[in-house]
């Protein structure tokens, strides 16, 4: 694609990297076929190619974002299916990330939208505040249809996504070390993060047990908190980079202290962002090298477990598991086989979901900010999953767990919960009844 930036514009490193990405696009349109919003809406401007043109125009003209640009960029899930499909290697993720940052800096959103985004950016990343919000959501859940009728769809969407029961309080992990059960084979840091410990504390509990059982010492680095992913996807770059620097400091302290073989993440959305810290902070002389080192050590928990190999795994009940590949894991990190192979080796019957490349509609805060499209995508995903008649759905991202759980009665669990169970851990909470039924039918 030809571009027409001035030399002065190209002196800005963000414009220079965007220009390289734009020039790689050859307009072939292959990416449109796998883009969820194009599949749903059929509008070129809601396809990756259309959005690339809009971003090109916005950057070349060096003008504030228009309402038209904002509408179509906001509808993008950042699912990155287009990057998997693109034969020319267009790095759409870096391009749309920068477009979101430009929008945030140059476009004045309506007051309610601004307020909602400010609340999300403040509450979701603070586990204490978020737990209070979940409690309030639990009480107000029956009012979701009222908010929807009043036109307050994002509030209705938040209430519908609230779990039906209050999750157990998250454990205080900062600075804690979890020793291995047998001779130490390795040492890793495990991201606690922000949303995961509030909504699904069982995920990291299972990961820690599983790693300890396989001879791995697990540390929760002192001071580590939200990875910045949520703020980053809302274009709030200053907040995102400050959160990234905080975690880089926490993990660098461990890397330079007792050392780490890897930094493990059980939320694939966070993993994709942490693997990109090196790029995000490439122009920060104080952090560029440290950020690149942290990114190079970051692994999805299933990547690391696949390398380690599971011992003595046997599914305690003959369960059929539909594996839902989170976009951030399959498209963002290209981790495809490992979760499925681990589950199969552990004795589960693993089935691929038809149209597995399409997003479930979760996408960070997308299911709150774009509830109509998110609900359509969830309905399509759930229909595809239910065709398989599985006993359970396994996935590697808390956003997908919440999104799918709100649309089906099939239990949704994290992959590591099944692996922990198969290697001696407890039955994952949502599977207790299914496991009992299956075990008695044996
Ligand atoms: S990231 Fe996903 S929604 Fe956005 S343009 Fe690419 S395929 Fe479409
Ligand atoms: S597939 Fe790649 S090269 Fe083709 S239009 Fe899409 S982004 Fe451009």
The kind and range of the H/E element at 282 are: none
Strand ranges inside 358-433, DSSP E: 392-395, 412-414
What local confidence, expressed as pLDDT, does residue 316 receive? 82
> Is the pLDDT assigned to residue 338 strictly greater than 70?
yes
Of the pLDDT bands very low, low, confident and very high (cuts 50, 70, 90), residue 54 is very high
Please indicate whether residue 403, judged by its CB atom, sits closer than 6 Å to ligand 1. Answer: no
50 CA to centre of ligand 2 in angstroms: 10
> Is the pLDDT assigned to residue 65 strictly greater than 80?
yes
Please indicate whether residue 77, judged by its CB atom, sits closer than 6 Å to ligand 1. Answer: yes
Query: Alpha-carbon distance 360 to 362, whole Å?
Result: 6
107 CA to centre of ligand 1 in angstroms: 21
> Is the pLDDT assigned to residue 396 strictly greater than 70?
yes
Report in angstroms the alpha-carbon separations of 52 from 29, 151, 336, 364: 11, 31, 27, 21
Of the pLDDT bands very low, low, confident and very high (cuts 50, 70, 90), residue 313 is confident
Please indicate whether residue 51, judged by its CB atom, sits closer than 6 Å to ligand 1. Answer: yes
Query: Alpha-carbon distance 34 to 218, whole Å?
Result: 38
- For ligand 1, atom 4, the nearest C-alpha belongs to 76
Q: What angle do CA 17, 20, 25 make, to 5 degrees?
A: 135
- Residue pLDDT, tens place only, 404-433: 999 999 999 999 999 999 999 999 999 988
- Residue pLDDT, tens place only, 178-223: 999 989 999 999 999 899 999 999 999 999 999 999 999 999 999 9
Which tokens sit at 418? 């099944």
Please indicate whether residue 56, judged by its CB atom, sits closer than 6 Å to ligand 2. Answer: no
> Is the pLDDT assigned to residue 442 strictly greater than 70?
no
- For ligand 2, atom 2, the nearest C-alpha belongs to 86
Residues sharing a CB contact under 8 Å with residue 215, sequence separation 6 or more, in sequence order:
180, 181, 182, 183, 184, 185, 186
What local confidence, expressed as pLDDT, does residue 95 receive? 98
- Residue pLDDT, tens place only, 6-36: 999 999 999 999 999 999 999 999 999 999 9
366-372 long-range contacts, Cβ below 8 Å, gap at least 24?
Answer: 366/77, 366/78, 367/157, 367/161, 367/399, 367/403, 368/116, 368/120, 368/154, 368/157, 368/158, 368/161, 369/74, 369/116, 369/117, 369/120, 369/154, 370/74, 370/75, 371/153, 371/154, 371/156, 371/157, 372/153
Query: Alpha-carbon distance 128 to 134, whole Å?
Result: 10
Which tokens sit at 21? 């990405």
> Is the pLDDT assigned to residue 151 strictly greater than 80?
yes
- Residue pLDDT, tens place only, 72-108: 999 999 999 999 999 999 999 999 999 999 999 999 9
């Amino acid at each position: 694609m030809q571009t027409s930036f001035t030399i002065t514009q190209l002196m800005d490193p963000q414009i220079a990297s965007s220009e390289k990405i734009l020039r790689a696009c050859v307009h072939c349109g292959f990416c449109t076929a796998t883009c969820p919003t194009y599949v749903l809406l059929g509008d070129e401007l809601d396809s990756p190619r259309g959005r690339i043109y809009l971003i090109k125009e916005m950057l070349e003209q060096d003008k504030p974002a228009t309402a038209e640009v904002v509408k179509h960029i906001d509808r993008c899930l950042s699912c990155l299916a287009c990057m998997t499909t693109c034969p020319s290697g267009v790095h759409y993720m870096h391009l749309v990330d920068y477009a979101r940052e430009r929008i945030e800096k140059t476009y004045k959103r309506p007051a309610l939208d601004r307020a909602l985004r400010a609340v999300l950016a403040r509450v979701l990343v603070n586990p204490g505040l978020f737990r209070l919000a979940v409690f309030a959501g639990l009480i107000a859940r029956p009012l979701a249809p009222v908010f929807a009728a009043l036109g307050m769809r994002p509030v209705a969407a938040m209430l519908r996504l609230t779990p039906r029961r209050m999750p157990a309080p998250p454990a205080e992990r900062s600075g804690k070390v979890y020793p291995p059960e047998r001779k130490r084979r390795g040492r890793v840091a495990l991201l606690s993060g922000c949303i995961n410990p509030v909504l699904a504390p069982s995920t990291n509990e299972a990961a820690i047990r599983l790693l300890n059982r396989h001879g791995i010492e697990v540390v929760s680095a002192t001071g580590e908190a939200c990875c910045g992913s949520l703020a980053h996807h809302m274009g709030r770059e200053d907040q995102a980079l400050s959160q990234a620097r905080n975690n880089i400091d926490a993990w660098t302290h461990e890397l330079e202290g007792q050392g780490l073989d890897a930094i493990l993440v059980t939320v694939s959305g966070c993993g994709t962002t942490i693997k990109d810290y090196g790029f995000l902070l490439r122009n920060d002389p104080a952090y560029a090298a440290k950020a690149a080192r942290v990114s190079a050590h970051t692994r999805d928990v299933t990547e690391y477990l696949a390398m380690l190999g599971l011992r003595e795994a046997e599914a305690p009940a003959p369960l059929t598991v539909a594996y839902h590949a989170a976009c951030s894991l399959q498209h963002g990190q290209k981790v495809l086989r490992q979760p499925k192979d681990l589950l199969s080796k552990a004795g589960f019957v693993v089935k691929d979901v038809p149209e597995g490349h399409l997003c479930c509609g979760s996408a960070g805060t997308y299911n709150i900010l774009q509830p109509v499209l998110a609900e359509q995508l969830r309905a399509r995903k759930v229909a595809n999953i239910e065709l398989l008649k599985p006993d359970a759905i396994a996935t590697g991202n808390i956003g997908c767990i919440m999104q799918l759980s709100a649309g089906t009665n099939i239990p949704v669990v994290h992959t590591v919960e099944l692996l922990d169970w198969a290697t001696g851990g407890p039955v994952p909470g949502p599977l207790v009844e299914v496991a009992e039924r299956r075990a008695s039918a044996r």
